[in-house]
A and B are shown apart, each in its own frame.
Chain A
């Protein structure tokens, strides 16, 4: 399982994988899923941006894993990749994971010492993400 946060320019701000082996594959998956995310964002023509639209849902499933997407109002994208074998994860749980991510991300943003566009190095953020991933996997 992996969590990736990319900026609006599709530049990775934060990448974290739980099984650290095979990380490259996850990176590749995330990279390809960004295309899908872009497609979904551009498709939405309405100006209103409520919670439901932020959650993009299952971007596309493959035989090995499922990719979920979430975009914030500032075009920062969150991508979660989970194993397909992990069927216990329901949509609501993924939603809650994204919510937590978003909240933690805003906390990081609130830090005046953090420059948007920098890689996220906050230990607090790391701890939250690790807890979440351990819970999920």
Chain B
């Protein structure tokens, strides 16, 4: 005989038939009797059958070998489709429908009739008594396959016919194996396939398409099958629970393991999802869940689940795969939804369905927690088995339990981020702040976008804050500077003395404030608000706390700030303008200023107005010095305020001294203590120079005394002992100069460092790219 090419479908079908005919279990020869019966079942005339047997060579051989059998089957198909029986046409005819056979035997006829009757009906059927089925299971099933289509009146039965026949050769064996494995629950394999009752399928197909209905019933939930494949679960208990399922069991059994998921998909493309769990199934699963874990909202630990599913006798590898699919949040425990999905998959697998690579959408557990505590839920169907949030692969399990796994990644990213922040001029408060935010799942960038996303702008923020610190320092001082002129000497000094206290408080409060780890934006807002309010003449209100990040790391600078503020208060209004300005600026006004006081001094006893007129000219160059000019004018106009005036000049002198080092601090530091001694010295100088104002001395000394009295830093030598005063003054002045120089140096370094760090921060984020 010529070689016969069979399609896969045909191959499978034929082999099945051959096996069914292989009563003697020879696997090589089909018994003549059975074969002939089969052929007769094909509803062909005897002559045709005879012709076929001749053609296939069986007559020659005397028996039906496998090849003969196959050829015969193909010829039958030809005959049934009305084509002439030719050997040549065996291979040439394409898309030949599979040969159909009709039951011939009595029992089969009966069954067939039953089936037929059943197919006519559309209502649900209840399981037939098992006894009848048992004996003839195999053959009945084999026969049922071809039988059914004949009953089907639908024209489009060819497709449904084809698919169920597409049973892999091994499937019957496997199927039988499954049957044996299955407990009694599977006994109900009834040929009463038809009226299958899948409610959802019924809905999909309202028409009396019994055949289709049947096939559709076959397709998806083979799940109903082997409900009770777990030996421990008594089958009987399940039956009453799922009466509808019983018939499904029968229906499924007929075509069952034969169908691959692809077929299912094809068949039920218009129907519901094959993986969908029906209510009865779900109820069953829930009950099973309760046997393990009474609380339906609780979790089944992995070990218990393992024991339970091991009873299903599936290979460990498959169980492992099922677990991977169903444990959605990767926590090692199963919620009710996860358990149902796992159970469903097990049942499917027991019925021969291949496990999907990804969890089907209908089996996905509903995400319960949508609040921040559980992270952002991800209904991503790519049940990503990965858990790499930061990288490309989507994170499958965003819920809390998975955070443990993501922790290492988070720590990594956190560490990178922290190192970045450490490299920057950020303070410890910044790093603390980061660690608070970072532990959140990086995937939930939606939850905490600010800290991570704002890195580039953070630098900007810091820069702004840096600038603001300078400005903020200036602002509070300027209004404060504006205040003193309005105060009397004592009051002014008292205020100046008190202000450091307030600044200290302000700083301490600011430090504590920053330790609250506020987001950067709020910190900036704080700065802005402060800068907005500061020029408005706040006095006692603490000066805007300097941006914690850039400054808190520099303990010295913070102390410097304090010193600066401490010194800033009593200092003249010229200091604030110089704080943030580059060194180059201050010297310019100095010569003019210094000239003024010098002018003052030289002309002290003379017509001051002339010089005062000069001062206003020079003053406008420095707007911050406006107060000073007013003050000067005021002082000049009122000789009684010579002390103040002198003190201002003294301040100017001090400034001129320190200007070379370009520090405001120095001036601030030195000036608080300088004014009292200065006037004295100046006064003395003036005495030396001019000697006209000796009578002013006692007045000055009185003023000085009062000034000194109010200054706690100066030894309280209230007595008129000028030498003691002068000695103390000198000592203080020396310390002042030393501190001033130190401040100069530190301030310079601080400025440079800040600028460098800012540059570093700007460059840092781009280094990783």
Chain A contacts to B: CB under 8 angstroms? 50-52, 54, 92, 95-96, 99-100, 102-104, 106-107, 110-114, 121-125, 127-128, 131, 135
Pairs across A and B, CB under 8 Å, 9 listed = A92-B416, A100-B388, A100-B391, A102-B408, A106-B387, A112-B303, A113-B323, A114-B320, A127-B385
Q: How far is the CA of A121 from the CA of B319 in the complex (A)?
A: 12
Main secondary structure of the interface of A (DSSP, over half): helix
Q: How far is the CA of A107 from the CA of B332 in the complex (A)?
A: 8
Which residue of B is nearest A110, CB measured? Answer: B332
Chain B contacts to A: CB under 8 angstroms? 302-303, 305-306, 309, 316-317, 319-321, 323-324, 327, 330-332, 357, 385-388, 390-393, 405-406, 408-409, 411-412, 415-416, 768
Residues of A within 8 A of B319 (CB): 113
Q: Are A95 and B412 in contact (CB under 8 A)?
A: yes
Q: Are A131 and B405 in contact (CB under 8 A)?
A: no
Which residue of B is nearest A106, CB measured? Answer: B405
Q: Are A122 and B324 in contact (CB under 8 A)?
A: yes
Q: Are B303 and A96 in contact (CB under 8 A)?
A: no
> Smallest CB–CB gap between B321 and chain A, Å?
6
Q: Are A113 and B316 in contact (CB under 8 A)?
A: yes
Q: How far is the CA of A96 from the CA of B331 in the complex (A)?
A: 22
Contacts A122-B324, A128-B393 given; does A110 touch B408 at CB 8 Å: no
Contacts A100-B391, A103-B388 given; does A121 touch B408 at CB 8 Å: no
Q: Are B357 and A104 in contact (CB under 8 A)?
A: no
Residues of A within 8 A of B392 (CB): 135
Q: Are B391 and A96 in contact (CB under 8 A)?
A: yes
5 interchain residue pairs of minimum CB distance: A124-B385, A112-B302, A112-B306, A113-B320, A103-B387
Q: Are B327 and A110 in contact (CB under 8 A)?
A: yes
Q: Are B386 and A100 in contact (CB under 8 A)?
A: yes
Which residue of A is nearest B415, CB measured? Answer: A51
Which residue of A is nearest B315, CB measured? Answer: A113
Residues of A within 8 A of B323 (CB): 111-113
Q: Are A103 and B405 in contact (CB under 8 A)?
A: yes
Q: Are B302 and A99 in contact (CB under 8 A)?
A: no
Residues of B within 8 A of A112 (CB): 302-303, 305-306, 323, 332
Q: How far is the CA of A122 from the CA of B316 in the complex (A)?
A: 11
Q: Are B320 and A111 in contact (CB under 8 A)?
A: yes
Contacts A107-B385, A110-B332, A128-B386 given; does A99 touch B405 at CB 8 Å: no
Q: How far is the CA of A102 from the CA of B405 in the complex (A)?
A: 8
Q: Are A50 and B320 in contact (CB under 8 A)?
A: no
Residues of B within 8 A of A135 (CB): 392
> Smallest CB–CB gap between B314 and chain A, Å?
10
> Smallest CB–CB gap between B434 and chain A, Å?
15
Residues of A within 8 A of B357 (CB): 123
Q: Are B385 and A128 in contact (CB under 8 A)?
A: yes
Residues of A within 8 A of B406 (CB): 103
Which of A50, A92, A100, A131 is the most central at the interface, judged by chain B CB atoms within 10 Å of its CB?
Answer: A100
Contacts A99-B388, A103-B406 given; does A123 touch B412 at CB 8 Å: no
Which residue of A is nearest B768, CB measured? Answer: A92
> Smallest CB–CB gap between B56 and chain A, Å?
45
Q: Are A121 and B412 in contact (CB under 8 A)?
A: no
Residues of A within 8 A of B412 (CB): 51, 95-96, 99
